[in-house]
Structures are given as structure tokens and as C-alpha cells.
Structure 1
């Protein structure tokens, strides 16, 4: 159910920035399979998907570190990260799909009330290579003027560096920008940049999304446009 805490002014929003995993796409199974393939390589026991899913959202390095039990051996983590990424690059599209309602909502939200077009972009903590490949393969790329990944900048979300760059490149202000994501990382990024924020309760990290107040919470991508129009 759509929960609105602060109506978002549709006429003012000229840039919408989306998280990728758990927001636009369900990549849970491929990420979990890749983590367990890495664990097997290092003679570790596999982990349930429910556990691995709680580790997603802060980038591949943190995902691997958490899956290994946060060891203090940085060389091990780097080696494991390499194995994880090598496997994931080959299997990133085995089961990953675009959530129902995403394409219709992207189409509906790309036009401003006055008929001009909004800019849209992706800002994810997933490495840029697989992010671009997934967006291209699943037909998402044409909607976005930029796709930035976890290694596109020195920092990752929730540091606002990437979101601030997108705001500058789109030639808009924070008050004209909306961030949509499924985790506390996304909402915190929005808050640090001074933008509007929609939290997605259906995603991979949705257990965290309500820990930081957003302007609106949605249960599906189909509610994005309705949330945006609530501030008209």
C-alpha cells in the first residue's frame, strides 16, 4: 500500500535516480548463487538465500566480506571477491529479471506535467560492468542518460558523491531530484544530497528501508508514478 509522508511535487521533479538491485531488478538468486559458488571455492559451507540477501546493498566487497564472516584477512577477501565477480559476470542473467510494473512506470514518469521530459539515471553499488550489461540485456538502458556503479567513484552510497554528480550533470537542483531505492543506503544517500526519496518495501534490502524516514513508501514499482503525482 502506498504510504505518503511528504507529498512529492511532481512539477518540480526533473531528475529521477534509481537504485538497481531490489528496485528495478530482482537479482537475488543470481547474487546468492554467486556468493555460494565463491564459498564453495574456498571450502566454506553455503548460506541460505535469506541470509545472503541481508548482506546485499553496500557493494560487492561488503557482500563477500559478510558472507565470509567478516574476516580480518584482507588478502582472502580480495581473492574471494575476484572469484565472486568472475562467477557473477558469467551468471548475472541466469535468473535476474525486471520487476513487474517497472517499464510502465518508467514510461509514465519520464514525462513532466508540462510535456517536457525528465532525466532518469541509475546509481547502484554494484560494479559498473555488470550493471551496464544487465541494464542493456533487460532493455532498461534506453531510459537512462547515465548508469553509475559502485566503482564509478571513489566512494559508494550512502556517500552522496554519485548522486551529487548526477544532479550536476542533469543541470538540476537537489529539490528537483528524486531518489528511489529499496534500502536505508538509498534513503540516506538522498537525505545527504537533500533530494526527495521513495523507499521500496518489496526489494532485496527492504528490511532496512524504513529505518531512515523517506517521503513515501511503496509496495511495488507500479506505485512510483502515483507517489509522484501525489504532490500535484
Structure 2
């Protein structure tokens, strides 16, 4: 289902930017397994997948910080990025995740078909599309390569590609400039309030995905439109509109 909360001028949109985790790919299991592998390495109790999934979206550093704060067995300060233990935990997680990032990660149903349909304008000219994620850029690009997503995007940027992460608009503004677009001609598609706030901070449009990792956050920060399936991305650019 497609629901519009504000009228998006889809006919004038030039650039589409996608989040990665929870939008293009279902990476929940690999991320959860990697967090628990890190906790086990330091003799800490494992966390449920639901708890870990609720920590995803603000980058790896915040994911690790939140995971370390839950067990309640660490001396004060060990869960902060300033402590040496955090560096060890961060490094272990990244090393493990790099090896296991594609164990269970898959493209969501309808994503590849929708990207194929959206990659050109009605006149047949190529439509600029890109990825902007808070995941480190190395794993992000490797995942896009491994799952056949990379050919659809002129750029894939991660949380370490710029000095700041989403919801700061720096990365999105960079993509807008590179694509020769404007904020009013740009749509950011994501699964969390982080993506909605990023779009707003840049003056762009936002489309939320309820099938992702953080759909509850979209209730608090409402996007301009909401979809329940990746196939609805194409519907948003067609003539069929299901008004909320």
C-alpha cells in the first residue's frame, strides 16, 4: 500500500537516494549475529535479535555503544567511545561483520524489480540513483556488489564517507550536487526517522518503508509518503495514489 501524507511532485523528481539496511536489504540477522559474536568474545551476555535490531540506524559506533550498555556488567564508562574497551569491541565487530556480512543478508522482495523500473525516466534517459547509509562504506559497497545492487547507483556513500552522518544533510547535499539536482527534485527513501530527518534537513522529500528495521520510528517522524512493499516505490511514480 502507498499512502501520501503530503503531495510529492513525483513528476519533477530527478534524484532518488536510498538508505541501505532496512530499505534495500534485510541485514538484520547478520548484524545481530555480529553484535552477539562481539559480546561473546568479551564474555558478555547475548542480546535478543529484537533488542539489537532496535539499535540499528545511527551507525556502527552507536550500535556497539548501545549493545554494550545493555548487559549491565561493565564498569562505568566502558560503553563510551572514549574508553579503550570500546575501540576493541568496535574493531572486533567490524572484523567479524566484514567476514559474515552476506551470510543471511538478502535484497528485500521487489527491490531489484523496482530499481529496474525506476532507473530511467519516461523518455528513456537515465535517472540518477544513489545510496546513503550510516553503515561503514566498505561493507556497504561490498554488499551492494555482492547482491547485484551496485549497477543501479552512481554512488554509494557510508557513515564514514563524510565528517558527519545522517540525519546531518551533508551527505545528501553532496549527492544532490553531484547529480545536478535540487532538494525539491530529490527523494530520500528509508525505513527510519533518521532518513526522514535527513531529508527534511536538506529540504528534500522523504518516503518511508514500513517493511524495514525501524518502522516504529516513522510513527514519531512522519515521512511525506509511506509504503509497505518495495514494489510501491514504482507506484509512487505512477498515476495510482492511495490517499491516507
* TM-score of the pair, normalised by structure 2: 0.92
Corresponding residue SS for 2:231: helix
Equivalent residues, number: 232
* Cα offsets for 1:26-83 (capped at 9, x unmatched): 0000000000000001111000000000000000000000000176232211110000
* Displacement after TM superposition at 1:231 (Å): 8.8
Cα deviation per residue 1:122-150 (whole Å; 9 max; x = unaligned)? 00000000000000000000000000000
1:126 aligns with 2:138: no
- Do the aligned partners of 2:11 and 2:237 also contact (CA within 8 Å) in 1? no
Distance 1:175 1:101 in 2: 26
**Take 1:168 and 1:72, find their aligned partners in 2: how far apart are those partners?**
40
> For the residues of structure 2 that align with 1:230 and 1:191, how far apart are their CA atoms?
25
Larger Rg: 2
Shift of 1:163: 0.2
Partner residue in 2 for 1:29: 29
The more displaced of 103-112 and 183-192 is 103-112
Once superposed, what is the RMSD of the aligned Cα atoms?
1.4
Q: Determine if contact 1:26/1:97 at 8 Å carries over to the other structure.
A: yes
Which of 71, 84, 96 aligns to 1:75? It is 84
CA distance in 2, matches of 1:129, 1:15: 23
User: Is the Cα–Cα contact under 8 Å of residues 15 and 177 in structure 1 kept in the other structure?
Assistant: yes
Pairing 1:14–2:14 present: yes
Contact 2:167–2:198 (CA<8 Å) still a contact in 1? yes
Q: Tell me what 2:73 maps to.
A: none
Query: Where in structure 2 are the equivalents of 1:1-232 lying within 5 Å?
Result: 1-69=1-69, 72-73=77-78, 74-230=83-239
Specify every segment of 5 or more residues in structure 1 that has no aligned partner in the other structure, as ranges.
none
In structure 2, stretches of 5+ residues that fail to align are 71-75
**Structure 1 stretches (4+) deviating beyond 3 angstroms?**
none
